[in-house]
Amino acid sequence: MFALMGCGDDSSEGTVEQRTHNLHLGLGSRQYDFSITRNAGDLPANFVNYETYRKRSDVGLPPFSQIQCYMTYWDTEFNKWDKVPCTFTYKATTDPNHTDTWSTRVPLKTLTGDKPYYYIYGFLPKENVNDEATIIPYNNDYEKGAVLTINGLNAVLPDDISIIVGAQGYGAGSAVPDMSTHLGQFRFQPGDGSADDYLFLLVDHLYAGLQFNMSLESKYSQLRKIKVTKIQMTPVSDSGQNNTVIATVDATVTIVANNDNMNPIVEKKNSQGVNISGHVDFVTHEATSAAPAAPAVLYEGEGKWLTTSKMPFLACFCPSTNRKFILETTYDVYDTQDNLIRKEQTASNTVKLEWNLNAGQIHTLNITVKPTYLYVLSEPDLDNPGFNVD
């Protein structure tokens, strides 16, 4: 499928025409690191394994709908690097090769000459960025990489802000390609527009995470049902070493393309101590009375029933910023006959980290809902369960 958008000089020296392409993205991310210790070092610079988007939901991430990409290319007509911003939107499909895809329709120029490729960069999810992103070529050359800046990110988020660190095109009827050797590679050559184009992306995390596993205490579950309707986490002042609260951050991500399967946003120094890869820099902004730190709403909806099995919720936060948070849970209490006993109750828990987490690291806390005292079934209005953090 294609539509002719415009034509140029039909020569081998550069752009010859522009057509609308149907592009589809598959997604894999670096696996989270749950093995956190006080002396945790840097994460591996390469991807030993990656996991698909569907598996990422197991840690408590909500679904997201949009990925922001930039199709960058050398425009021979104007003798400069240029880009086509494009937003990919989630689309459910029954195709076993594309069970989770994001799609868009975008006009692309047909490239020829010495640089016939597009180079795809970007981040996800778009929903948290509010058009505060800019991109420029690394060392004035998108073939070498890009510098992506995202301003005004909340220091605590319900989503996993991630950066594209590798891309590979593949056929519509093909299985997901082996991406283990495509770190740092962003080159993509679309077809002629007569058929859909498919790409698979590798993404890496900018933030660390706190995973809250909520469950009902077994005896209590025989007497009461708990429906969680909202969970939010807010950074607060730590009376210890750091009494400031970081409200927002500006992230500058230097992405260095390479053919050595290096993570293009993680520092790697050569024998002379010079960084030959990319890096991530944060500029922090403290909360004020006029601009307080916004809570991250981890869940809000009609309600989720807690059981004796762990139900995960994930909060993401900028590394090396806030260490103390308030987790507030809103819930309804029912008896075993589904009679509503207490509505819109709240429980607050203080969470304090004793050490910094790096990007992609997750610290897990188990929260067990149990009664704070014994009660009789004839007085259900006395029931006020406690949310105990282990």
In tens, the pLDDT along 86-100 reads 999 998 777 766 667
Band (1; pLDDT cuts 50, 70, 90): very low
Pick 148 or 244 by higher pLDDT.
Answer: 148
pLDDT per residue as tens digits for the range 241-259: 567 899 999 999 999 999 9
Q: Which two tokens stand for residue 113?
A: 């000459």
**pLDDT confidence of residue 94:** 72
Average pLDDT of span 116-139: 91
Band (374; pLDDT cuts 50, 70, 90): very low
Contacts of 219 (CB under 8 A, 6+ apart): 370
Flag whether pLDDT at 36 surpasses 90: no
**pLDDT confidence of residue 61:** 77
Flag whether pLDDT at 380 surpasses 50: no
Band (191; pLDDT cuts 50, 70, 90): confident
Flag whether pLDDT at 3 surpasses 80: no
Which amino acid is it at 117? Y
Band (30; pLDDT cuts 50, 70, 90): confident
CA-nearest of 291, 289, 287 to 324 is 287
* Peptide bond before residue 158 is cis, with ω within 30 degrees of 0: no
**pLDDT confidence of residue 378:** 35
**pLDDT confidence of residue 4:** 32
Q: How far is CA 19 from the centre of its chain?
A: 31
Contact 30, 360 (CB under 8 A): yes
User: Residue 261: which region, alpha, beta or left (left: phi > 0; alpha: psi -120 to 50)?
Assistant: left
Highest-confidence range of 31-45, 51-65, 245-259, 350-364, by mean pLDDT? Answer: 245-259
CA-nearest of 17, 22, 21 to 6 is 17
Flag whether pLDDT at 52 surpasses 80: no
Average pLDDT of span 24-48: 59
Q: What mean pLDDT is reported for the chain?
A: 84
